[in-house]
Structure 1
Amino acid sequence: MPARSPFSCILWDVDGTLVDASEGILRRLTVTLEHFGRQAPTRGELSHWIGPPMFESFQANVGMTPEQATEAVTFYRGLNKREGYTVSARLYPGVADLMHELRAAGIPQSTASSKPEVQVVALMDHFDLAPDLDAIVGASLDERTLSTKADIVREALRRLAANGVDTSRPVLIGDRHHDVEGGTDAGVPVIFVRWGFSWPHEADGAQAAVDDVAQLRALLLVDDSAGA
């Protein structure tokens, strides 16, 4: 059955939305924080780390200064590069099938991730999602030049538009409050997914919230045998 979408393009957050990289993140955070004499997080505390830029998280979560946070990010990224950006990462069930279906329906897609773009590219290639995407957008490697969610969303829309995509009715799919805030700041509605690392209140301000991929599909694709 033919399908269409109420949205002209779809932007995807990555961590907690498409990819569960929590095992590797916890391992690298433990090494990094112990290296800098700080207490490592428990798995239950990962919700404070996954999603926002690491540069911000090192300051907010363990009280580092901006200078210390810069050093910590550099150390953490070094571990990540040596280990490999895709080690221990896995896709959330059903998201790849949905992205393939959206592509088949002709709906343009892009990432809009707070992860460094080099890592996002590696993940999308690793999971064979790159062919579904019209743009792959992430943060700058230092997480400072291009770091806020709003700016990343705007950059994703800019690149899509440069590729001839209609960006008049975009939507952002994300799992954290900074996705909702960043999307709102950029004038893009947000669909909040609850399978990531969020607290319940983080969905406040989103256009909709979903519990599983089937609910998300129902909002992104409309089956239409008439093709209208």
Structure 2
Amino acid sequence: MTRRLVIFDVDGTLVDSQTHILAAMAQAFAALGQQAPAREQVLSIVGLSLPVAVARLAPGMDASEQARMVAAYKDAFSSLRAKDLSPLYPGAAETLDALSRQDGLVLGIATGKSRRGLDHLVAAHGWAGQFATLQVSDDHPSKPHPAMIHACLRETGIAPEHAVMVGDTTYDMEMARAAGIRGLGVSWGYHPAAALGPHVIDDFAALPAALTQIWSMGVA
């Protein structure tokens, strides 16, 4: 049996964390006496590693100010997360459970979150044991660099032509292309669906059929 790998992004793909992201970024900018960017600007950087995201949102700040903003964001997000858990998108839990039970199918995560942030989600949503590989921003260059996908492939021993990256941003799709695997976009996240390429689904129920179609196309 051919083993196959489905790699998921987290924010905007599995988890709707925009409320916490927007609030934490507003608090981070306020901590440095600045007005936060517009909602669309903030959501446009979701998926990037936090230092890269802050640098894009506040290019006029020097490195020390950006570092302070990164720290302020982490503190704010941690506080918000402790009070209220970001919800999963409809169908996410059921789909992950069904996929994890399929013989020969392996699940992974490649996220711009920190290890601490992802560990919190894994515990909160009962994901322990569902994912064979968990890649975070602490250990790799920011998306769209392909390092996280390369690590997923290496840890699972699965060839690129048997892997798919599922995500909601252009960073996810660019990362997939750079790693030589196919990308599958989701329309419910933070980047416009039209920017995600030819393979996009509108709900989790469509995921199994979309994966079958992509793998039937052969090498990426």
Common fold, TM-score beyond 0.5? Answer: yes
90-99 vs 49-58, greater mean Cα deviation: 49-58
2:7 and 2:107 in contact (8 A); partners too: yes
Report the counterpart of residue 102 of structure 1 in structure 2.
99
In structure 2, give the amino acid aligned to 1:191: L
Report SS of the residue matched to 2:185.
strand
Structure 1 residue 187 corresponds to structure 2 residue 184: no
CA RMSD for the aligned pairs?
2.5
Q: 2:122 aligns with which of 79, 101, 124?
A: 124
In structure 2, give the amino acid aligned to 1:135: T
How far off its partner does 1:7 sit?
A: 7.1
Alpha-carbon distance in structure 1 between the residues aligned to 2:21 and 2:150: 27
1:7 and 1:170 in contact (8 A); partners too: no
How far off its partner does 1:53 sit?
A: 2.0
Deviations 1:63-115 (A, max 9, x none): 23444323321221133334446834110000111111111113110101111
Report SS of the residue matched to 1:171.
strand
Alpha-carbon distance in structure 2 between the residues aligned to 1:184 and 1:7: 20
Identity %: 23
Report SS of the residue matched to 1:20.
coil
In structure 1, give the amino acid aligned to 2:201: V
Evaluate the alpha carbon distance shift between residue 86 and residue 134 of structure 1 in structure 2; reply closer, same or farther with a 3 A threshold. farther
Alpha-carbon distance in structure 2 between the residues aligned to 1:122 and 1:116: 10
Instruction: Name segments (4+ residues, structure 1) moved above 4 Å.
Output: 165-168
Equivalent runs, 1:215-226 vs 2, <5 Å:
215-220=206-211
Q: 1:28 aligns with which of 16, 24, 28?
A: 24
Report the counterpart of residue 218 of structure 2 in structure 1.
none
Alpha-carbon distance in structure 2 between the residues aligned to 1:201 and 1:113: 22
2:15 and 2:89 in contact (8 A); partners too: yes
Report SS of the residue matched to 1:180.
helix
Evaluate the alpha carbon distance shift between residue 168 and residue 180 of structure 1 in structure 2; reply closer, same or farther with a 3 A threshold. closer
How far off its partner does 1:120 sit?
A: 1.2
Deviations 1:107-148 (A, max 9, x none): 11010111112211211221112221112221107xxx5433
1:48 and 1:57 in contact (8 A); partners too: no
Deviations 1:25-65 (A, max 9, x none): 11111110011122123444442232222212222222234
Tell me the matched-pair count: 210
Gaps of 5+ in 2: 214-220
Alpha-carbon distance in structure 2 between the residues aligned to 1:217 and 1:26: 32
Report SS of the residue matched to 2:188.
coil
In structure 2, give the amino acid aligned to 1:218: A
Gaps of 5+ in 1: 223-228
Equivalent runs, 1:63-212 vs 2, <5 Å:
63=59, 64-84=61-81, 87-106=84-103, 107-140=105-138, 146-149=141-144, 150-161=146-157, 168-204=161-197, 208-212=199-203
In structure 2, give the amino acid aligned to 1:183: A
Q: 1:213 aligns with which of 204, 208, 214?
A: 204
How far off its partner does 1:167 sit?
A: 5.7
Higher percent of residues as helix: 2
Alpha-carbon distance in structure 1 between the residues aligned to 2:31 and 2:124: 30
